[in-house]
Amino acid sequence: MSPEVFQEISLHGAAVLLSTRAKFRLTGADRVRYLNGQVTNDVRRASASAALYACVTDVKGRISGDVFIHADDDCLFLDAEPGLREPLALRLERYIVADDVELADVTDEWQLWHVFGGTETNVSDEAMAALTESRGHVLHATRFGLEGRDIWLPAAAAFQPSIRVLNDDEAETWRILQNVPRWPHELGPDTFPAEAGIEARAMDFSKGCYIGQEVLSRIKTTGKMPRVMIALEGDEPLKRGDTLWTDKQAGGITSATLHPVTGRWVALAMLRQGTDLAALHLHAADGPSIGCR
């Protein structure tokens, strides 16, 4: 990302094409009750005007995937990372037993845009015209650390945002700079939601039972968890997979990028809870020091 692009996003916002994300539609009379038993947030609050962020967890409370959920007439829509298309479908279908629920993969039927930041969170006239003509959806959503809008359109609909469209590398750089965790980097099958700092966004502790709820409630009560996500920066090159040390191995870098303005390396890392951050080094105990952002 160039300094000019960073400045443009900061002032005017940007758009990102997310059509490769896995998309599912849930129908049936039991859809809300069923999905509420599968995810960490309260699906009863899902609406046609805002995307509800949640995690799908396993019986041990670890993340099987993170999803955005919204309602539309007589169905629920979910979207998730592209790599979760098959495993998440299998995970959700496994618990449909006697429920009046049908899960359909609609990935290829919809294009998904996200517009965020600046003053462009109000969808443009062009977008509204496309939505009206194609019966698409527009809803509030926060995906890149700033308030934004999701725009769902049928795959064949014509649409071009009126602001800058980020490529994959630019979107990834912005995500890291905004400290937003992502599957499979900071989020994964060995991660609890609290470790990635997404409790406030993705969890509802008063909604009732769901798979993994008992473990996650215990973490909430005790505050004890194996790791925690930290944002770091340093002058030495950082990359995903780098090991972090104090007097012993403390964790590793999960995402990294070069800040387009400061020229410093910025990273997200998962560290052992209680790590002495002042003693943190890269690669080995005598390696370059790294500071918290």
Do 170 and 242 fall into the same domain?
Answer: no
Distance CA 73, CA 163 (A): 30
Distance CA 5, CA 164 (A): 9
Classify residue 283 as left (phi > 0), alpha (psi -120 to 50) or beta: left
Find the CATH number of the domain harbouring 135.
3.30.1360.120
Mean pLDDT across the stretch 200-228? Answer: 95
Q: Is 13 helix (H, G, I), strand (E, B) or coil?
A: coil
What are the tens digits of pLDDT across the range 52-105? 999 999 999 999 999 999 999 899 999 999 999 999 999 999 999 889 999 999
Mean pLDDT across the stretch 244-250? Answer: 89
Position 187 pLDDT exceeds 60:
yes
* Segments forming the whole domain that contains residue 242: 226-293
Which tokens is 113 given?
């845009």
Position 288 pLDDT exceeds 70:
no
Position 289 pLDDT exceeds 80:
no
- Which residue type does 177 have? L
Do 46 and 159 fall into the same domain?
Answer: yes
Q: Which helix (H) or strand (E) holds 10?
A: helix 3-12
Q: How confident is the model at residue 127 (pLDDT cuts 50, 70, 90)?
A: low
Q: How confident is the model at residue 291 (pLDDT cuts 50, 70, 90)?
A: confident
146: in domain: yes
Sign of CA dihedral 171, 173, 175, 177: negative
pLDDT given at position 121 = 52
pLDDT given at position 120 = 47
Give Dmax (Cα) for the chain: 62
Find the CATH number of the domain harbouring 287.
2.40.30.110
Measured CA to CA in angstroms, residue 183 lies from 67, 192, 206, 242, 250 at distances of: 10, 12, 26, 18, 21
Report the chain's mean pLDDT, rounded to a whole number: 91
Q: Is 196 helix (H, G, I), strand (E, B) or coil?
A: helix
Do 167 and 276 fall into the same domain?
Answer: no
Q: Is 191 helix (H, G, I), strand (E, B) or coil?
A: coil
pTM for this one? 0.93
